[in-house]
Chains A and B, each alone.
Chain A
Amino acid sequence: MTPAGRRLPPRLGQGWLVAPPAAYLFALLIFPIVLIGLYSVFLRTNLTGVVAVFSFQDWGRFFPASWGELPWRTSSPFWNTFVRSMGVTVVIALATTALAYPLAYFLAFGTRRRRSLLLLVVLAPFFTSFLLRVLAWQVMLRANGVFNSALWELHLRPHGEPVSWLINTWFSVGLVLAYAWVPFVALPIFVSMERIDRRLLEAAHDLGAGRLTAFRKVTFPLSLPGVVAGFVFVLIPTTGEFVTPQLVGGPGTYMFGQAIQDLFVGTASDWNYGAVLAVWLTVVVGLLMALSGRALTMDPRR
């Protein structure tokens, strides 16, 4: 195997060492997902006294029988929830990425000595509890909360009349999610910008390119892997999000994650149908991952 005369340096590990962690994830991640799959086609059920027989019935319930005029106004309520929720998720992820881009740009190109301090300042809130930050927004946005009471105190609105769209709307859900993710998205973009070889920018300048052209032709394309990674970082957790809409959303902001949660532990228990939704979400996220390419692969090419 080894070419004669050339000793390969000994490596530290032994391949079999991956077995325990791999087995662990297989047992507690892959196997449960397989179980969800079995539930979704009724090969298993937790209904008392019902015999489990293979059936696509619940999948048939999920995919709309008739499509209506819009993809979120079909005959299947949970399909509608999925489309609406997914659409909003993409919008939130795009908005968050857009908000994070200038931040990353500033950190990468606008700072020098204090860079790590400035980076730390925006990342630090991320280390405080997520739920507490959602709670803080709830306290600020609610009808008799900080914003509204401030408006009343400043006589900008008659006392007792809150601004109605501040909470229980897509606005509040989007705001809180964007708030939670902006620093997290800025990080991979910042890293990809930092990796850009400054000589490329010098070369662009020498060839007569202005700052804008240099940005368009050099910086932006080279920062794209970070942008994709950041976008995906928000997209994945938000597709299954159910806590934020529960705390700051309303009847109109019912998200797919909430539907799954409700079907498993909420008022409308139906594990088999819930399993259909969970499998579908997993498949869709998997496809999105495949589409976003190698941005997230762990093994860097070398």
Chain B
Amino acid sequence: MSSATEPLGRAGRASLGGYYALLVVFLYAPLVVIVAFSFDDSTIAALPFSGFTTRWYRAALHDPTLLDAVRLSALIAATNAVAATALGVLASLGLSARRVLLRPAVTALLVLPLVVPAVVVGVGLLILLDEVGSGPSAGALAAGHVVITVPYTVLIILPRLRTLEASLTEAARDLGANQVVAFWAITRPLMTPAIVSSLIVGFTLSFDEYAIASFLIPPGERTFPIFIYEGSKVPQQRPELLAVASLVIALSLLLVVAAEVGRGRYERRQVAAGAG
């Protein structure tokens, strides 16, 4: 392809590159600020710096309220990841069948949570809990998170399942395997990456969810986002919050990089296996 047919000239590429760099600064500036002030020896995040300290980290790691919040969030997030992935697998297997009753309606229903604003989901579940006569609870919150997670799990698992079908059907025919054996021996291992992605997404979505949690959290209990929200209103607690935030930032960036590296490895291996 000659360079003149490229959609970007040299000047265009340079200026868009500059724009990209600016956006990266914009996107990372708040993260840098959080990390910088988490080491600042003052309760007010303002210039000039007052001195270096790691005491906020120590305080954060010894705060029972915070640890309880993280524990509750982790529990809800894990429950959500497993339940939503299970439902996602069922939905994907169902949708990949040739005949599905009311397919358009069912498909629409499965992605509906994506287009219903979170505040409506929260309010609806609040009314539902009132109708069945039970108050807010951690279980109800997990159930609510499953609602908003199912579309994501379906969108992750279903496409993967479709790419498998062609090869699978051949294999199944050649081997004369029945469907259950075929699923267990062939589909399941090949589905593993999609299921792992689905679990990760389910965990992350729930762990970071505030809107629905704010409606369904039982009195006196807090998930991690609720802890952050409440903490943002107490200035004395803010430095500790910045320390927690720095840890979260470090951890999530690490996970993103690890996931990317892992994905790259996996794909290269697949390619190598395919070639061999």
Contact = CB atoms under 8 A, between A and B. Distances in A.
A9 B174 CA distance: 12
Contacts of A24: 87, 146-147, 150
Contact of A122 (B23, B224, B229): B23
A285 B23 CA distance: 30
Which of the listed residues A32, A135, A152 has the most CB atoms from chain B within 10 Å of its own CB?
Answer: A32
A121 B24 contact: yes
Given A146-B45, A296-B114, A133 B30 contact: yes
B175 to A, nearest CB: 12
A35 interface: yes
A133 B210 CA distance: 13
B72 interface: no
Interface residues of A, number: 101
A137 B173 CA distance: 59
Contacts of B17: 106, 110
Contacts of B88: 21
B100 interface: yes
Nearest to A28: B147
A30 B109 contact: yes
Interface string A122-140: 1111011111110111111
Interface stretch (B54-62, B74-82, B125-133, B268-276): B125-133
Q: What bracket does the count of chain B residues touching chain A fall in?
A: 35 or more
B6 A125 contact: no
B26 A22 contact: no
Contacts of B120: 33, 36, 240, 260, 278, 281-282
B144 A271 contact: no
Contacts of A13: 92-97, 161
Nearest to A109: B7
Interface string A87-103: 00000000000010011
Interface string B209-234: 01100110000000011001100100
B196 interface: no
Given A36-B124, A146-B33, A12 B119 contact: no
Given A128-B253, A261-B119, A32 B127 contact: yes
A131 B228 contact: yes
B250 to A, nearest CB: 9
19 contacts: A11-B98, A14-B94, A24-B87, A29-B121, A106-B19, A122-B23, A127-B252, A128-B249, A131-B210, A132-B34, A133-B30, A135-B245, A138-B232, A149-B48, A182-B27, A211-B9, A240-B118, A278-B124, A296-B115
Interface of A: 8-22, 24-26, 28-33, 35-36, 39, 44, 46, 99, 102-103, 105-107, 109-110, 116, 118, 120-125, 127-133, 135-140, 144-146, 148-150, 152-153, 179, 182-183, 198, 201-202, 205, 211, 214-215, 219, 236-237, 239-240, 242-243, 247, 257, 260-261, 264-265, 271, 274-275, 278, 281-282, 285-286, 289, 296, 298-299
